[in-house]
Amino acid sequence: MSNIVDARGRSCPEPVVMTKQAIENFTEETLRVLVDSMVAVENIKRFAKNQGFQVDVSEGNEEYTLHIRK
């Protein structure tokens, strides 16, 4: 399975649902989630932290990459 979830162009709660599905099948060291909305960033961060993951966010060209790891 890929360690990248591309949720750009999707509105909440879909990015969170996609992230949840990826976390359930998580085998890599870091999961990267691509989004283009600050609302999605905040919702995914909250969800991942509640599941015990660490989350870092980088921003570029009006897009955000969340780096999620245990």
Catalytic residue ranges: 12
β partners of residue 31: 68
**H/E/C letters for each residue in 9-63?**
CCCCCHHHHHHHHHHHCCCCCCEEEEECCHHHHHHHHHHHHHCCCEEEEEEECCE
